[in-house]
Amino acid sequence: MTPQIFAAPGQIEIGVHNTISLGGATFNIDTIAASLLAGIIVVGFGLYVRIRATDGVPHRTQLAWEMLVTTTERHFERTVGSTGRKVVPLAISLFAFILIANWLELVPSGSPKSLPPPTGDINLTVALAGLVILMVHGASLRARGLRGYLRHYLRPSPWLLPINFIEEMAKPVTLALRLFGNVFAGAVVAALILDLLPPHLASIPLLFWKLFAMCVAVVQAFLFALLTILYFQTALKPDEEPSSEEGHAAEHAGTDTPVSPASQGSVSIHTSSVPPER
């Protein structure tokens, strides 16, 4: 038997979950339990704020929520305009849910972990990213119409169709993998520290690592929400230059009302169907 410098690395179990099978489908019950807990915490804080919300001097929880709402709304209104308001609840829910889910990593739950950070499981991050991207594409379809939506894949040149397509495909994948990778790596490093150092020495580096992981959790939650906002911005932002058809239609419409660049696309469509009044 070869002498071992470190403890047996075989003890580290990565990506192993408590699963149950139902009708041929596998469910990671630990992830489900942990994400349910995170959801209950977020909803609990939310409902607490709803019940205790005051028009006067707000308490800390309300202040935290209000800060989140104000920051998100301001960000949207500066870039997308008032249409972005509908996305604010999504961005806020994502941030709060992911933050709490990430912080579940800080709760010591023994080995094997009964309460793993659910964002360290690809299932949650894929679910969130998929939902977000579906909503982004839905919003884009509603804002631009089917033709406009399909045409934006050909912007600025039809030659860029493959690149645009790959970009759209990459969005959910990167969104899911970034969050998963960060939280998962955090768990791996914590496991390595526990495994490689004797128990009486492991607690100190582990403490520093957990503090670091706390910050990483905030950054990752923020990043996920921010990227969601950015994707919605791209989806809701009107095309910068109207196509030649729309441009001509706007020119021939002959109305004296100034057309703002933000609403140029939609206005030109309306005015082209209405004859000039003079």
Partner 1 sequence: MFTSANFLVPNATVLVEIGVFAAVLGVVARFVLPRLRAAMDHRQEEIRSAIEATQRARQLLKTAELDYETRLSDARRQASAIIESARRVGAYLQAEARKQAKEEHDRIVARAQWDIDQATAVARDQLQQEPEDWTSTQSH
In sequence order, what are the residues at sequence separation of 6 or more whose Cβ sits closer than 8 angstroms to the Cβ of residue 94?
128, 132, 221, 224, 225, 228
42-62 exposure pattern, b = at least 16 Cβ within 10 A, e = fewer: beebeeebeeeeeeeebeeeb
HEC secondary structure over 199-251: HHHHHHHHHHHHHHHHHHHHHHHHHHHHHHHHHHHHHHCCCCCCCHHHHHHHH
Exactly one of 59, 66, 107, 247 binds partner 1 (CB under 8 A); that residue is: 66
* Greatest extent of the chain over all pairs of C-alpha atoms, in Å: 98
Report the distance separating Cα 163 and Cα 94, nearest Å.
Answer: 28
End-to-end Cα, the chain, rounded Å: 98
User: Is residue 9 part of the contact set for partner 1 (CB under 8 A)?
Assistant: yes
138 is a site residue for partner 1 (CB under 8 A): no
Among 2, 3, 6, 56, binds partner 1 (CB under 8 A): 56
Number of residues interacting with partner 1: please give it, by CB under 8 A.
52
> Which span sits near partner 1 by CB under 8 A: 20-28, 206-214, 218-226, 247-255?
20-28
CB 143 within 8 A of CB 84: no
27 has which bridge partners?
20
Q: Which of 13, 167, 241, 251 binds partner 1 (CB under 8 A)?
A: 13
Applying CB under 8 A, among 76, 80, 90, 187 the residue interacting with partner 1 is 90
Supply φ then ψ for residue 26, to 5 degrees: -100, 135
Tell which one of 80, 99, 104, 124 touches partner 1 (CB under 8 A). Answer: 124
Regarding 89 and contact with partner 1 (CB under 8 A), the answer is yes
Contact window for partner 1 (CB under 8 A) among 38-46, 158-166, 222-230, 242-250: 38-46
Applying CB under 8 A, which of residues 76, 102, 121, 224 lies at the interface with partner 1? 121
Positions that interact with partner 1 (CB under 8 A): 9-10, 12-17, 19, 22, 25-28, 31-32, 35-36, 39, 42-43, 46-47, 49-50, 53-56, 58, 62, 65-66, 69-70, 88-90, 92-93, 96-97, 118, 121-124, 126-128, 130-131
